[in-house]
Each structure stands twice: as structure tokens, then as C-alpha cells.
């Protein structure tokens, strides 16, 4: 295969699923090696997975171009296991809009689910943040699920020290707020 054929195939593939020229440029700028990716083995399986989840059209193109590193992740080792966990939290997979929203907010949660996502979910569940409350946090502050568990525990501890109760609705808002500011800002 000539050296220009792979990049041409990649660009053609992106255009065929609806990428704009600007989105292709953004994707290539973020992950230049994407131009030498195998369309059939590397790109199509990832795109098809997200399409099966209901993320299609301009939403799919926006997600992929703004988070191009997702196209370098392993489907079987990182993306699928993480999505399975996320779907359980997002009311047993009935909230694809919530999945898209969580992914838009932080694709870091798709790295290795056993590293941060699962431990953080387990910790939050252990303190009573379950069901729709956990789903709310995932959709509104997905970055919380990507921090080390020790950092999440510090944030919860700060809220408890201030007088928040884990059962209160305001606790979730406080946790979202702490998730969006730096440690230094809070002090």
C-alpha cells in the first residue's frame, strides 16, 4: 500500500460518517497517528460501538473529533468494560443521552474502569450515593469518577466537615462544585 493510501482511506472514512473538514483537521491535529490507522480493524469497530449505543450523526462526529484519543483506546480492554459500568449506573442502560453527556464531560472515565471508575462508584455507593443520585453525578460531573479514590474521599470529607449530609440533595451539588474547582481555590 502506498504511503498516501492509508491517510486517504482514513479521511474518506471520516467523511463517510459525517465528519466536517474542520473535525477531521481537529482529530488529526490531536492524534496525528490516526492517519495511518487501519480503518477496518481500528476505526470502524469503535465507531460502530458508539452507533449501537445510539450516539450517531453530528453527536458522534463531535464526540470523536473533540476527544480523538478515544479512537486509540482498545474496544475490548477499555471502552466496552467502561461503558458496561456506566450503563449500570445510568439506570441500567436506559439513558443513552446521559451516556453521551457523561462522555462529553470526561472521556477519561473510559481509560481503565478498574483503575478509577469502579473504585469511585463503589466508594460513593458505600456512603449512600446510589441509583438516580449516582447517575446525576455521573452526568453532571463525570470528572469526579476519573480522580484517584483518595482525592474523591478528601472532597467528600470536606463536605462532611462543613456539615453536609450524604443523604441531602445539596450534598450532590456540593460534590459537583468541588469537582469543578481546584484544591487551592477551595482553601
- Predicted confidence (pLDDT) per residue in 124-142, tens digit: 999 999 988 998 888 888 8
92/72 Cα distance (integer angstroms) = 27
Mean pLDDT within 149-163? 93
Task: Output the 3-class SS for 59-82.
Answer: HHHHHHHHCHHHHHCCHHHHHHHH
Confidence of residue 39 (pLDDT cuts 50, 70, 90): very high
41/121 Cα distance (integer angstroms) = 32
Mean pLDDT within 63-68? 87
Residue 10 clears pLDDT 80, i.e. is over it: yes
Burial 51-76, CB ≥16 within 10 A → b, else e: eebebeeebbbbbbbebbebbebeee
Question: Quick check: pTM over 0.85?
Answer: no
pLDDT at 35: 93
- Predicted confidence (pLDDT) per residue in 71-92, tens digit: 888 888 888 888 888 888 876 5
Helices (H), 35-168: 44-52, 57-66, 80-89, 96-105, 117-126, 131-140, 149-162
Q: Helix (H, G, I), strand (E, B), or coil: what is residue 141?
A: coil
Domain ranges of the chain: 1-72, 74-187
Residue 93 clears pLDDT 60, i.e. is over it: no
Find where cell 449501537 sits: 52
Contacts of 179 (CB under 8 A, 6+ apart): 141, 143, 144, 147, 155
Amino acid at each position: 500500500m502506498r504511503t498516501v493510501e492509508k491517510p486517504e482511506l482514513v479521511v474518506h472514512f471520516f467523511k463517510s460518517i459525517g465528519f466536517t473538514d474542520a473535525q477531521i483537521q481537529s482529530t488529526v491535529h490531536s492524534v496525528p497517528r490516526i492517519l495511518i490507522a487501519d480503518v477496518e480493524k481500528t476505526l470502524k469497530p469503535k465507531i460502530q460501538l458508539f452507533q449501537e449505543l445510539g450516539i450517531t450523526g453530528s453527536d458522534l462526529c463531535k464526540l470523536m473529533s473533540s476527544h480523538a484519543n478515544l479512537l486509540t483506546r482498545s474496544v475490548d480492554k477499555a471502552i466496552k468494560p467502561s461503558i458496561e459500568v456506566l450503563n449500570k449506573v445510568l439506570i441500567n442502560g436506559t439513558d443513552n443521552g446521559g451516556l453521551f453527556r457523561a462522555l462529553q464531560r470526561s472521556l477519561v472515565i473510559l481509560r481503565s474502569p478498574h483503575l478509577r471508575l469502579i473504585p469511585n462508584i463503589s466508594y460513593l455507593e458505600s456512603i449512600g450515593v446510589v441509583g438516580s443520585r449516582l447517575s446525576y453525578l455521573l452526568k453532571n460531573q463525570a470528572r469526579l469518577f476519573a480522580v484517584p479514590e483518595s482525592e474523591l474521599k478528601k472532597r467528600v470529607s470536606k463536605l462532611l466537615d462543613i456539615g453536609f449530609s450524604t443523604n441531602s440533595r445539596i450534598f450532590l451539588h456540593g460534590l459537583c462544585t468541588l469537582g469543578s474547582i481546584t484544591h487551592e481555590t477551595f482553601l
